[in-house]
Structures are given as C-alpha cells and as structure tokens.
Amino acid sequence: MSPGTFVQLTGPNGSGKTSLLRILCGLAAPAEGEVKWNGADIRSLGEEYVASVTYLGHRHGVKDELSAIENLRISNAVNGVDVSQERARAALKDMGLGGRESLPARFLSEGQRRRAGLARLLVCNTTLWLLDEVLTSLDKGAVALVRSLIENHLNDGGIAIVATHQELELSTGRFQRLELTT
Amino acid sequence: MLRWIVWRDLMLAWRRRADMLSTVFFFVIVVSLFPLGIGPETQLLRTIAPGVVWVAALLASMLSLGRLFANDYQDGTLEQLLLTPQPLFLVVLGKTLAHWIVSEVPLVLIAPLVGVQFDLSRETLWILFVSLLLGTPVLSLIGSVGAALTLGLRGGGVLISILVLPLYIPALIFGSGAVEASIMGVNPAPHIYLLGAFAIVSAIFSPWATAAALRISLE
C-alpha cells in the first residue's frame, strides 16, 4: 500500500473486519501469512511499527473517570507524545467538545465520548490509521469532520484503513474497497 | 513513559476512592474479628497474630486484583496501552507499581495499628510492618499474572483466587515466619532476607509473564 491510499473495509457482520484490523495493528496474530511494513514483518519491527500506527477500536478507549482533555493528554503521554494543554484544548474544540473538555467522560453522551476518542487523530503524527467502526453513534457533522480529517491525512501522505458501513465519499486519495465475505 | 502509566493509574484510583477504601476496610475488619471472637486470651492471640494478619492481607489483595486490568479492558484503553511504542513489560510494571501503591501500601501502614489488638510488642509490630512492606509487592506482582490470565473470563474473580493464592504461600510462610520469630525472641532476619529475595525474583519474572498473558487474553 502506498502513501495516500484509503481502504474501506465492508462486509456483513461477522465477516472479519475487526479481526483483520486487529491483525494489521499487531494485537492478534494471523493464522497464516504475515503483515509487512516497509518490507519487514511487523512482529520483528515491534515498537518501531507500533509508533507509526494509530488504531481506534469500536470501544472508544476513553476512561470514564477522566475528563476529555485528561484522556487525550494521558493517552498521548503514554505513547511518548507530549501534547500541551492548549493543543489538547484546541483539538477537542475542533471535535466539537469546546466547553466540555474538563467534564469527566462519564457525563458525556455516547457520541461525545466517541468524539473525545477521535480527537487523538488530530494530535497524532502516525502514518497508518486503522479505524474500526468509528462512525457509529456520530451525527452528520461529526462524520463530515472525520471525513475531512482522513482527507487531510491522505494528502499528507498517510494511509487509512477504515471498517465502516457508511459511505465516506472522499474527494482525494486512491480509494479502494475491500469486501469481505463470510 | 513508565511514570505516566503510574500517574494515570493513581489518578484513576483517586477518582474512585471507594474501591481503594473498601480493600483497607476489609483488611481492618477481618483482622479485628479474631480478637473479638476469641476474647482477651493474650497468649493465644499472640500465637495466631502473624498468620491472621498475613492471611487477611492476602485475601484483601484478592479484592483489588480483579480491577487491575478489567476496567481498562472493558473501555478499550488496555488495547491502546498494548499498542504503545514501548516494551509491554514496562506498561505492566507501571500498572503493578500503581496497584501496589493504591491497594497494598495502605494495608502496610495500618497493619501495626491493627496488630496492637493482638498484644504484640513494639518490636514485633515493627517486624510485621517490614515483612508486609517486603511481602506485599510479591502479592501485586504475582497477582498481576493471575489478573492477566483471567481477563475477560466470566467469574474471573474466583478463578484468580484459585490460581494466585497457592503462589502466595512462600510469601505467607516467610512473612508470618518473621513475625513469629520476633514473638519467640528469635532473630527474624533470615525470614526477612528470604522474603526480600522472593520479592526480587518475582519483580524480575512476573512482568514478563503478565505481558505474555495479556497478549494471549487480548488476541
């Protein structure tokens, strides 16, 4: 896959979209075959590969006890990326959470929590994005926001693999569709 | 990055103080039930004190082990932690360290106080404190392996106890042995040294085992 490629994974429930993404990010091991990144097996690359991937699963990865801004800053700090308070605040404002960034995430709605998780895409500087059903429970505005995020990412030479049933209709990038069957 | 993981878990624990306090209260109540049930027979109380306090500490740590990875597993943050560009055993070490600070250190600090109920001398209370200080890291470290292995299983709490409690036996023997020796007026140092050695060995091996178990549980 070359820079600027967008792959949409589709297929009926249970066809293995999530499994494929988990294998691609290294959480699960493939039964046969191997995943290669820049010509090397990701198992041997280890942390080097992980540092260039952002994976967002269908569980948001947002702690209920922490506020949106703490979630964003801590999840990045654990990844070794320091995000300043202002940058995190700006990213959350862009995601439509302005004014709610200091509220513990358990007071946010499902869609708002999803937005808080997606804010990571704004501050990360990884090449490969693996997004698993991230559009569920998002409103139209947020879907448009995610679309423009992915477009910017592709224009910067990034790669995105997205499992979703919704049509994203991107204006840039090489679009591929991978239909999985059971 | 290790400190960020510790900081994160400490902050989460602080936001859910009730969980932390329930472990301490459980320990205090279990230890206090024995003197109340047996009555003021100081000789008998002194004899059973080391075992009672140590067994209560083991059981209290069972209460908190289930939460070590389960909360992060449910909201998907554990997956994110696995995908950080650092060795997984460091993540595990950070989380285990935070667990020790949150769930075990309060027990260590309060143990000399509850030990007074067993008519222990000041010197013995000091040995009790030291033995728990060296022994409780073992509980967190070995317990983390059990917590990782039972992650996502139904009824994981009981399973952790069955898996982990037998592995606690060496810590229990040397820990309560040190206190017993001090009560008898014998030098408790050999027990303390062995307990320390056990703590070092488990600090070296269990983060690796936990990391491997987490990878299996999340696959």
CA–CA dist B100, B64 (Å, integer): 10
Query: Exposed, middle or buried, B21 (CB in 10 Å: 0-12/13-18/19+)?
Result: exposed
The whole-model pTM stands at 0.91
Q: What would the mean pLDDT of B145-167 be, rounded to a whole number?
A: 89
Within an 8 Å CB–CB cutoff, is residue B16 touching chain A?
yes
Within an 8 Å CB–CB cutoff, is residue B76 touching chain A?
yes
pLDDT at B214 over 90: yes
Query: Exposed, middle or buried, B49 (CB in 10 Å: 0-12/13-18/19+)?
Result: buried
Q: Which residues contact A157 (CB under 8 A, 6 or more apart)?
A: A3, A4, A127
Q: Which of B12, B16, B86 sits opposite A47 (nearest CB)?
A: B86
Q: Do A50 and B85 touch (CB under 8 A)?
A: yes
CA–CA dist B51, B120 (Å, integer): 13
CA–CA dist A77, A54 (Å, integer): 14
A34: domain CATH number?
3.40.50.300
Q: Do B74 and A66 touch (CB under 8 A)?
A: no
Determine the pLDDT at residue B60. Answer: 94
Residue A127, token pair as written in the block: 């090449």
Q: Which domain holds residue B94?
A: 2-218
Q: Do A70 and B80 touch (CB under 8 A)?
A: no
pLDDT band at A125 (very low <50, low <70, confident <90, very high): confident
Within an 8 Å CB–CB cutoff, is residue A65 touching chain B?
yes
Residue B21, token pair as written in the block: 């306090």
Determine the pLDDT at residue B95. Answer: 95
Interface mutation vs chain B, best among A43, A45, A54, A63, most B CBs within 10 Å: A63
Q: Which residues contact A109 (CB under 8 A, 6 or more apart)?
A: none
pLDDT band at A31 (very low <50, low <70, confident <90, very high): confident
The per-residue pLDDT for range B18-47, each reduced to its tens digit, is 988 999 999 999 999 999 999 889 999 999
Residue A33, token pair as written in the block: 């075959």
The per-residue pLDDT for range B101-145, each reduced to its tens digit, is 999 999 999 999 999 999 999 999 999 999 999 999 999 999 999
pLDDT band at A59 (very low <50, low <70, confident <90, very high): confident
φ, ψ (nearest 5 deg) of residue A40? -120, 150
Three-state DSSP class for residue A159 = strand
In chain A, the residue whose alpha carbon lies closest to the alpha carbon of B1 is: A78
Q: Do A65 and B4 touch (CB under 8 A)?
A: no
Which carries the bigger pLDDT value, residue B112 or residue A58?
B112
Asked whether the beta carbons of A24 and A49 are under 8 A apart, the reply is no
Q: Which domain holds residue A68?
A: 5-179
In this prediction the ipTM stands at 0.87
φ, ψ (nearest 5 deg) of residue A16? 105, 20
User: What proportion of chain B, given as a percentage, has pLDDT over 90?
Assistant: 80
Q: What would the mean pLDDT of B150-159 be, rounded to a whole number?
A: 84
DSSP B163: H
In chain B, the residue whose alpha carbon lies closest to the alpha carbon of A48 is: B85
Q: Which residues contact B66 (CB under 8 A, 6 or more apart)?
A: B147, B156, B157, B160
Determine the pLDDT at residue B206. Answer: 95
Nearest to B65 by CA among B138, B146, B133: B146
Asked whether the beta carbons of A162 and A134 are under 8 A apart, the reply is yes
Residue A131, token pair as written in the block: 């997004």
Contacts of B86 in chain A (CB under 8 A): 47, 80
- A63 to chain B, minimum CA–CA distance in Å? 7
- B21 to chain A, minimum CA–CA distance in Å? 17
Determine the pLDDT at residue B59. Answer: 94
The total of structural domains in chain A comes to 1
pLDDT at A136 over 90: no
Within an 8 Å CB–CB cutoff, is residue B84 touching chain A?
yes
Contacts of A25 in chain B (CB under 8 A): 83
Contacts of B12 in chain A (CB under 8 A): 63, 65-66
Q: Do B85 and A80 touch (CB under 8 A)?
A: yes
φ, ψ (nearest 5 deg) of residue A26? 95, 5
The per-residue pLDDT for range A63-78, each reduced to its tens digit, is 999 999 999 999 888 8
Helix (H) / strand (E) element for A36: namely: strand A36-37
The per-residue pLDDT for range B71-90, each reduced to its tens digit, is 899 888 999 998 888 889 99
Three-state DSSP class for residue A163 = strand
The total of structural domains in chain B comes to 1
Three-state DSSP class for residue A79 = coil
Mean pLDDT score across all residues of chain B: 93
Q: What angle do CA A61, B213, B82 make, to 5 degrees?
A: 30
- B209 to chain A, minimum CA–CA distance in Å? 17
Q: Report the b/e string of A133-168 with b at 16+ CB within 10 A.
A: bbbeebeeebbebbbebbbebbeeebbbbbbbeeeb
